Amino acid sequence: MSRKMNALVKDKAQEGLILTQVNKPKPKHDEVLIKIHKTAICGTDVHIYNWNQWAQANIKPPLTIGHEYVGEIAELGENVKNLTIGQLVSGEGHIVCGHCRNCRSGNAQWCKDTKSVGVNRDGAFAEYLCIPATNVVPINPDIDEDVVSFFDAFGNATHTALMFDVVGEDVLITGAGPIGMMACAICVKNGARSVVVTDVNDYRLDICKKLKATATINITKEKIEDIYQDRHIVEGFDVGLEMSGSASALNSMISHMRNGGKIALLGIQDAKTPIDLNEVIFKGLTIQGIYGRKMYETWYKMSAMIEGGLDLSPIITHRFNYREYEKGFAAMNSKNSGKVILDWSK
């Protein structure tokens, strides 16, 4: 068997990626080699491609990037039990220490020594990926592989959307990127009274309409309060999911929450983003930061929701062979996209 494989590599500290041959990884005793079928492009991958400030501070080339994928087990390390060759899998992208307080108390998403696949170690935009067996997540083969390819991102959306009880609640989602879209679908599925999504991009808001958002608001043309009367929202929103990383969206969310409302923050803000803390205090708001997925409860919820009829297919807007990765990144950079999938199987 050839020990070389194709991979998308950030080879130099500059914009872009190259498709090149790298060594195929060999699983250690406790690791699993996954043959990649499909991958999806995350906003993080776009940051790395574009070589923005965050990427310059966090990525050390050469690195194979990518962390959203579906594939099958190709090889097992000699100590790996309970997994089989050929099994359909995805995987948790955070490789945690297993020893710190949070790891030991079942909150490994808050591990103090976490390492990310495709960021701090070689990733999934390749023909093969090697990860610890504990990170491998077996997948029901009845689920569409295109959807499984972005389970990592779906996990962020699930973790955020399920942080607070949305049953019968009015939910405000700021940011209609792919994770905001998925959060919209999840809240609709899970019985929210209304799901209102804001963004500046009509293409993305239109996908939220397909996902049965109660209302979508392009904040360059409309105001959030315009829908209060129509939706009989009297005191403000009960639950807020901030997905945009925009300071103005966050501040507008805070002012549109009812007293006692709860906000989950996923969108990464600029350093030292100002918010009115007195509004948080006097309204008794709860603000919860969200990182990654609950390990591994979120993964079970994700599969269960899909098996229960949650349809994320409207979010997939582009499909390319991995050799056409430039088209994929261009689609992502255009912002007129949902999830962009790269096929590694042929």
User: What's the closest the beta carbon of residue 250 comes to Zn ion, in angstroms?
Assistant: 29
Q: Does 100 bind Zn ion (CB under 5 A)?
A: yes
- Residue 320 pairs in a beta bridge with 342
Report the b/e string of 207-241 with b at 16+ CB within 10 A: bbbebebbbbbebeeeebeebbeeeebeebbbbbb
159 is annotated as an active-site residue: no
Q: CB–CB of 83/91 below 8 Å?
A: no
User: What's the closest the beta carbon of residue 58 comes to Zn ion, in angstroms?
Assistant: 19
- Which residue in 20, 29, 39, 47 is the catalytic one? 47
Of the candidates 188, 177, 248, the residue with the CA atom closest to the CA atom of residue 219: 248
User: What's the closest the beta carbon of residue 94 comes to Zn ion, in angstroms?
Assistant: 10
- CA dist 36 and 344 (Å) reads 6
User: What's the closest the beta carbon of residue 97 comes to Zn ion, in angstroms?
Assistant: 3
Q: Does 111 bind Zn ion (CB under 5 A)?
A: yes
Binding residue for Zn ion (CB under 5 A) from 46, 83, 97, 247? 97
**Which residues are CB-contacts of 163 (< 8 A; sequence separation ≥ 6)?**
262, 264, 288, 290
**CB-nearer residue toward Zn ion: 97 or 247:** 97
Tell me which stretch binds Zn ion (CB under 5 A): 106-114, 179-187, 241-249, 313-321.
106-114
44 is annotated as an active-site residue: yes
Sign of CA dihedral 303, 304, 309, 312: negative
User: What's the closest the beta carbon of residue 131 comes to Zn ion, in angstroms?
Assistant: 16
Q: Does 280 bind Zn ion (CB under 5 A)?
A: no
Q: Round the CA-based radius of gyration of the chain to a whole number and report it.
A: 20
- Which residue in 29, 37, 39, 44 is the catalytic one? 44
Cβ neighbours of 307 (radius 10 Å): 11
Q: Does 116 bind Zn ion (CB under 5 A)?
A: no
Tell me which stretch binds Zn ion (CB under 5 A): 91-99, 142-150, 232-240, 254-262.
91-99
- CA dist 306 and 150 (Å) reads 13
Of the candidates 29, 50, 27, the residue with the CA atom closest to the CA atom of residue 329: 50
Q: Does 295 bind Zn ion (CB under 5 A)?
A: no
Tell me which stretch binds Zn ion (CB under 5 A): 98-106, 131-139, 159-167, 237-245.
98-106
Q: Which residues belong to the active site?
A: 44, 47
- The residues binding Zn ion (CB under 5 A) are 96-97, 100, 103, 111
